Amino acid sequence: MAEWKTGQVVDKVQWTEALYSLVFEAELAPFTAGQFVRVGLEVDGETIGRPYSLVNPPHEPRHEIYFNIVPVGQLSERLAQLEPGDPILVDPRPNGYFTLAETPAGRRLWMFATGTALGPYLSMLKTAEPWGRFEQIHLVHGVRLARDLNYAADIERIQAEHPRQFRFSPLVSREETGFAWPGRITDAIESGQLEARLNTAFDPAQDRIMLCGNMEMIRDAQVVLAEKGFRKHRASAPGQIITEKYH
């Protein structure tokens, strides 16, 4: 059961008509980059809570979530209406296993995200851990439209701080952009285009893979990655892939 405390919204970004970030102050227990918090609001006398990955790294005092409005949903549309100064309910115990600690050792890390699942990777990339553990890190972000590619300033800062270790690859599936690769992450993996464009080859002995976001992407990506020798990492049967499903 969630144990709700009241925090306060201190900042809000509306990226598009459906994509938002909220920054809030709330006392949270120590957390690990990649974990989520449950956030809630009172609706008709009942608390509606949902999990959201923290975008901020653990050392930053203010907390941030990145989300899209799900038109049939109960909470996301209401969260999008909050403004700085408004109260927000937060379960102060962050949780989850989509972390670098759960990712087996390797030389290269692939972070694949659809939509708002970029968030937990930003948290991880703003800590020292991945840079000490992996020689190379690829962040691959798949979205429908170019305007869904947000947090560019954060990604540019990470690139500037780690020019040799880090590479960002955006994919846009529903329009031509001239800068992002067209299509879906899964198609780029299956066709070999991802490897060709990055001038590299997947190698299960060295590569570790994180998949976050749309559950169909996560399911389909595991199918195409299996053909390249990758499988889900489990304590009982070590592999290379760890996952976090948002929907």
Which spans of this chain sit near ligand NAP (rule: CB under 6 A)? 17-18, 68-71, 114-115, 142-144, 148, 173-174, 184-186, 213-214, 216-217, 220
Interaction partner, residue 227 (ligand FAD, ligand NAP, none; CB < 5-8 Å by kind): none
Q: Are strands 87-90 and 36-43 parallel, antiparallel or unpaired?
A: antiparallel
Please state the closest distance from residue 135 (CB atom) to ligand FAD, in A: 28
Interaction partner, residue 220 (ligand FAD, ligand NAP, none; CB < 5-8 Å by kind): ligand NAP
CA distance 171 to 229: 23
Residue 104 is given by DSSP the state P
Please state the closest distance from residue 235 (CB atom) to ligand NAP, in A: 27
| Nearer residue to ligand FAD within complex by CB, 118 or 194 | 118
Please state the closest distance from residue 111 (CB atom) to ligand FAD, in A: 14
Sheet containing 87-90: order of strands: 46-53, 36-43, 87-90, 5-14, 19-25, 63-68
CA distance 12 to 22: 5
CA distances from 28 to 4, 117, 246 (A): 11, 21, 21
Alpha-carbon dihedral sign for residues 141, 164, 192, 129: negative
Q: Which stretch binds ligand FAD (CB under 6 A): 47-55, 84-92, 125-133, 200-208?
A: 47-55
Of residues 190-219, which lie at the interface with ligand FAD (CB under 6 A)?
Answer: none
Write out the two tokens for 33. 């980059």
Quick check: 82 binds ligand FAD (CB under 6 A)? no
Please state the closest distance from residue 137 (CB atom) to ligand FAD, in A: 20
| Nearer residue to ligand FAD within complex by CB, 136 or 150 | 150
Do residues 94 and 36 touch, judged by C-beta distance below 8 A? yes
Nearest alpha-carbon partner for 151 in 56, 53, 231: 56
Quick check: 145 binds ligand FAD (CB under 6 A)? no
Ordered alpha helix ranges (H), the chain: 76-79, 118-125, 129-133, 152-161, 185-190, 193-198, 215-226
Quick check: 65 binds ligand FAD (CB under 6 A)? yes
CA distance 148 to 95: 27
Interaction partner, residue 53 (ligand NAP, ligand FAD, none; CB < 5-8 Å by kind): ligand FAD
By CB under 6 A, name the one of 74, 81, 177, 206 that touches ligand FAD: 74
Interaction partner, residue 52 (ligand NAP, ligand FAD, none; CB < 5-8 Å by kind): ligand FAD
Q: Which residues of the shown chain bind ligand FAD in the complex (CB under 6 A)?
A: 36, 50-53, 65-68, 70, 72-76, 96, 116, 119, 244, 246-247
